[in-house]
A = this chain, B = another copy of it.
Amino acid sequence: MAVNLPYPVAAELLPVAGIELGYAEAGVRKANRKDLLVMKLAPSATVAGVFTTNRFCAAPVQVCKAHLEGLHISASPIRALVVNTGNANAGTGEAGLADANATCAALAELLDCEAAQILPFSTGVILEPLPVERVKGGLPQAIANLKADNWYHAAETIMTTDTQPKAASRTVQINGQTVTLTGISKGAGMIKPNMATMLGFVATDAKVSQRVLEHLVKVAADQSFNCITIDGDTSTNDSFILMATGVAAAEVTDIDTPEFAVLSQAVIGISQELAQKIIRDGEGATKFITVTVEEGTSVEECRKIAYSIGHSPLVKTAFFASDPNLGRILCAIGYAGIDDLDVSKLNLYLDDVLVAKHGGRNPEYREEDGQRVMQQSEITVRVKLGRGSAAATIWTCDLSHDYVSINADYRS
């Protein structure tokens, strides 16, 4: 089902010195599937993250935020991350917080550190109690198989309705030193991150100060996980974590340096790749759609229009049908909430085809040109607003029968 998304090849996923990954079948929701992941970090590692803005943010998200805040007042670094699928531990109140803390305490004991040095993550069904004993029970198995080259298994472990594991690797040179980056992501529905995707983890072996890493994680999220939408549902558990193990020789100490420029470009690149993989594996997706809005007065207004197009069920079903019913795109632009939009200055392109000119149908537009583009599996919608120089791009997918099937059947 996924759109132009090759399976990752385990051998091509590069280990990152200073991080080991272990998995277990803990039976959180279903038996005989990997559902628990531990990522263990070198003591030299720095960690930063961005999280969902959903007011019902899950218990593990609250605990993660508190533990990352704690880095500012404590000298104890984050030593490990623990992720369970099958249960989101969201909408679970005080009991959910206790369960997330208990998970941290159990892993801390096994790794001989403090609970505050653990970051917990959960993804799955909302409003059901976390079976915390099963999570805790799976930890020894996960620790027993900790390995640096377990990235493929890690990507598999965090899948829920994903049809494929999502992972990516790359290297860059910083001051003549090779720096490695490897990341994984998951999420295929409930995706309109307002901070990050359901779950995204990127690790590098570079040495990066806490302050720089906190800046970089926000920059990267805003240009990757914050630019995708499948169904407009901002999840309770969205988390994007950037880890720098500090084991390699390359070091980034400040934002205004060439080293930062190289590293940030690499982090943004791998984050975009991981974010786009989520869209390519969007629930029921058959098309990968890039929506670019140009010539706006602000990035914010461009994003508003891009998301209005990307969320419209009518636009998304037209893409699914390969039907150039492109008036639906104009309609979505029109209700995006830009009150002073002068539609007579607006041009709409589908790939290279000029569909609407000065707000009306381009007299030279021919249905067969639109039809040709709509039949592709990758399509770019380009809107030129003719009122400024700002621009924004988002990535989305179509709305198909399978989206309804997957979400109508998810729990059964």
Contacts and interface: CB of A to CB of B under 8 A. Distances in A.
Contact of A334 (B57, B92, B189, B321): B57
A338 to B, nearest CB: 7
Given A55-B343, A91-B330, A327-B88, A234 B407 contact: no
A139 interface: no
B320 A56 contact: no
Interface string A350-365: 0000011011110000
A361 B91 contact: yes
B400 A404 contact: yes
Given A233-B314, A330-B127, A403-B313, A335 B91 contact: no
A312 B234 CA distance: 10
Nearest to A56: B334
Given A56-B333, A331-B233, A361-B93, A320 B408 contact: yes
A131 to B, nearest CB: 14
Interface residues of A, number: 72
A314 B90 contact: no
Interface string A40-80: 00000000000011111100000000000000000000000
A316 to B, nearest CB: 9
A407 B336 CA distance: 21
Contact of A236 (B92, B331, B360): B331
Contact of A189 (B90, B314, B341, B355): B314
Contact of A412 (B57, B323, B333, B361): B323
Contact of A330 (B236, B314, B403): B236
B361 A127 contact: yes
A234 B335 contact: yes
Contacts of A328: 126, 190, 233
Each complex incorporates copies of this chain amounting to: 2
A12 interface: no
B327 A231 contact: no
A275 interface: no
B55 A361 contact: no
A403 B234 CA distance: 22
Contacts of A92: 360-361
Given A323-B408, A327-B90, A334 B54 contact: yes
A325 B231 contact: no
25 contacts: A55-B338, A55-B339, A56-B333, A90-B330, A90-B331, A91-B359, A93-B344, A93-B361, A96-B360, A126-B327, A126-B330, A127-B355, A189-B314, A232-B312, A232-B313, A233-B313, A313-B407, A314-B407, A317-B404, A318-B408, A320-B408, A321-B409, A325-B410, A401-B404, A401-B405
Interface of A: 52-57, 88, 90-96, 125-129, 189-190, 192, 194, 231-236, 311-314, 317-318, 320-321, 323, 325-328, 330-336, 338-339, 341, 343-344, 355-356, 358-361, 399-401, 403-405, 407-412
